[in-house]
Amino acid sequence: MRTASPVDLSRIQRVAIVKLSSIGDVVHALPVSVALKRSFPHLQISWITEERCAEMVTGNPYLHEVLTIPGKAWRHGAWHPRTWQQVRQTVSLLRSRRFELTIDLQGLLKSAVVAWLTGAPVRIGYHWQREGAWLFNRVVPKEPTSVHVVQEYLDVARFLGAKTESVEFPLVIPDEAEERVIRLLQGESISSATGFVSINPSAGQPFKRWRTERWAEVITHIHQRHRLPVVLVGSKADRPLAEDIRARTSAPFVDMVGRTNLKELSAIVRRSLLHLCGDTGSAHIAVALGTPVIGLYGPTNHRRTSPYGQEHRMMSHKERCPVCTGPNPRREHSDCMDMITVDEVLEMVERTLLEVTTHA
């Protein structure tokens, strides 16, 4: 693996950050754009991402532009003539920008190839270059003190001479998204003055999900004890989860699952008193927007990917899970999630709501 050489950003103008997916990972990388632009105001920073994650970076005032690629659509139709035509058009677009430096914050073969296709003479990436990405990028070493992925990405900004003491997530919600969310909530009798709790019961993979009957118990408790509205959020793919939760509780809740785009979902999370979720992108959206978040984590490395700056609200039993700590640990299993009880989640909800109302 080749180590990156020092780069003099005072002699460079056009820089591309390559972070294609997923939603939470893109949010994790946002502070890099802030650190670079504030430290080197002359830079023209572009961000290359997949279409499905583009809303996480559009409107970012520290970027010169956002360039999107189809991503999954290309992979699913790899041999279709139209796909190859789109690839040629995208490569032509990337080359036209004449990037002098690319920063691969994905560390996968797909992102390394995209960085290479830009034609940039200097290509660097953060320390974890997988799937042969290290063949295309020079690697920035990890700082020993960088535990969370946000800090691992900022290692690259520090390597380039940027100041990173202040960590900022420039996730911008446009007025039209805010206005639509206000209308949606008002349609459910939730006004701007009404506090509510938002819940995302989903996670990227089934083994990372908490059981729907437990989410139903939490919703019932919040309704009965706090008389607070609960707003369920998620994508269209999460409709079965929402319907299953609906079947398991008589407590009322507002079902926004599949009814919003990412900017609108972000607006709902921003307005929440508290956001509850699993190991999914909305946890990191909440962090970016300053909303208290309780994250439920299973066998994944939660110390690296839990809600940044709110790790004290993260719930995980990985350290005492018999599957994770046994002689033959499995990466994909639900035992860790099953060990998280409704009572301990409700205790954290009580504590967090008390903090929120005390500091209001």
**9-159 domain in CATH 3.40.50.2000?**
yes
Q: What is the mean pLDDT of residues 306-332?
A: 91
Domain residues of the chain, as ranges?
9-159, 175-358
Q: What share of the chain is helix, strand, coil (3-state, %, to 5)?
A: 45, 15, 40
pLDDT in tens, 239-284: 999 999 999 999 999 999 999 999 999 999 999 999 999 999 999 9
Mean pLDDT of 329-343: 91
Q: Looking at the predicted structure, is the pLDDT value of residue 106 above 80? A: yes
Phi first, then psi: what are they for 294, rounded to 5°?
-105, 115
pLDDT tens per residue, range 197-239: 999 999 988 999 999 999 999 999 999 999 999 999 999 999 9
CATH number of 175-358: 3.40.50.2000
pLDDT given for residue 79 in this prediction? 55
Strands (E), the chain: 14-18, 44-50, 65-69, 101-104, 122-125, 138-139, 197-200, 230-232, 254-255, 274-277, 293-297, 315-316
At 46 the pLDDT is 98
Contacts of 237 (CB under 8 A, 6+ apart): 202, 258
Least confident of 62-66, 84-88, 90-94, 302-306: 84-88
Return the SS3 of 42.
coil
d(CA 116, CA 118): 5
Q: Are 278 and 259 in contact (CB under 8 A)?
A: no
Neighbours of 2 (CB within 10 A): 12
The Cβ of residue 290 has, within 10 Å, a number of other Cβ atoms equal to: 11
Please report the sign of the dihedral spanned by the C-alpha atoms of residue 83, residue 88, residue 91, residue 92. Answer: negative
